[in-house]
Amino acid sequence: MQRYTVLSMGDPAGQSPEMIIKAARILSGDPALYLIVTGDEGVFRKTASDLSMPLPFTFYTDDRESLKEAEDNSEQLIFYNTSSIDIDEFCYGKVSAETGEASYEALKNAVEIIQNGLGQTLVTMPVSGEALRLAGYKERSVFGLLSLFASSARLSNMLRSGNLNIFGLTHRRSVRSALEEVKRENIISTLVEIDSITSSPYFDSSKPIAVSSLNPMKADGSWTGTEEDEAIIPAVETVRKIGINAIGPLPVEEVFAEGVRGKFSAELVMTASEGFAAAAAASSDKACMITWGLPFMRVAPLIEAGFENAGKGTAETGRLEAAISLANLFRHSSLMA
């Protein structure tokens, strides 16, 4: 039986349905790709009809038994229906409790499919925190929902873009609150975690982990703030004593300039916004996010939900195609391990 990559719809009011239809059609020629899409079948059929696009799926189901039968028959593109939005009330670009519920169910079922051994890797599309709130859910992000569904307390997001593997000291925090987390103990624990992750076959562990500075350098080579001397330098010195190959702090521009050339196994930045900017600039059409710490691999394209352009036929799919292809690569790697 083939093993599958599972793709969760995200919020159906955005561009995700259009993007998934387009990307699946483009990638359907890859004989190594086996994909399950979880989402609202009615919305996908409406999107395909409104935009005059043929649906690429070879099999439709809404139960696990027939899903397994489809996998036994090596169906390449399977649609797994997880909700029934009222199409008469549905509106492109308008989030609601119903779209929040649909995105929740799509992700929950995607995780359960993998947990039941019917999928190998996960690709996720953006959700709306407002729609999830309207639906009554406490968690407002894919990251939070994955932690809940997979019972994983410690997750790490990494931005992959070309040769860059960027970790942030914090995730989904305001810049002001992120700055408060630049502490020696936080940097040490994060570097220990990064060292564990980069020991996997997906990285070149012979290369160092680059640690960026927070503050710019003065002309005399000193820093314009105190965080380097009080937190970053002591943290790097501490982890080096326990055998972690970390270097820094380096000016952030040097970290990315050398990282693009493949000098480092990974890069640690003090604020996530720096990482997002660098990832997008380094490889604008292939940048994606990988979540470590789950019982499976999760990949997400670096895209917005696209509510303002939903239903217009203008969605670009390069980053989604790259995310699916990377998840497929992880699937094959884990099967061979």
Residue 291's pLDDT is: 95
5-154+293-336 and 157-280 agree in CATH topology: yes
Distance of CA 47 to the CA centre of its chain: 24
- Is the per-residue pLDDT at 167 higher than 60? yes
Residue 220's pLDDT is: 64
User: In b/e form, how buried is each residue of 95-116, taking b as 16+ CB within 10 angstroms?
Assistant: bbebbbbbbbbbbbbbbbbbee
Q: Topology of domain 5-154+293-336, per CATH?
A: Isopropylmalate Dehydrogenase (3.40.718)
- Is the per-residue pLDDT at 174 higher than 50? yes
Yes or no: domain 157-280 corresponds to CATH 3.40.50.720: no
pLDDT in tens, 97-117: 999 999 999 999 999 999 999
Residue 335's pLDDT is: 43
β 59-61/164-168 pair status = unpaired
Taking every pair of C-alpha atoms in the chain, what is the biggest distance, in angstroms?
68
Mean pLDDT of the chain: 93
Residues 44, 50 contacting (CB under 8 angstroms): no
Share of the chain above pLDDT 90, in %: 80
Paired with 6 in beta bridges are 36, 122
pLDDT in tens, 204-228: 999 999 999 998 875 567 778 889 9
Residue 246's pLDDT is: 98
Residue 3's pLDDT is: 86
pTM over 0.85: yes
DSSP 17-35: HHHHHHHHHHHTT-TT--E
Q: Domain ranges for the chain, please list them.
A: 5-154+293-336, 157-280
Six token digits for residue 305: 């939900």
Share of the chain above pLDDT 70, in %: 96
Neighbours of 284 (CB within 10 A): 12
CA dist 196 and 194 (Å) reads: 5
Paired with 60 in beta bridges are 79
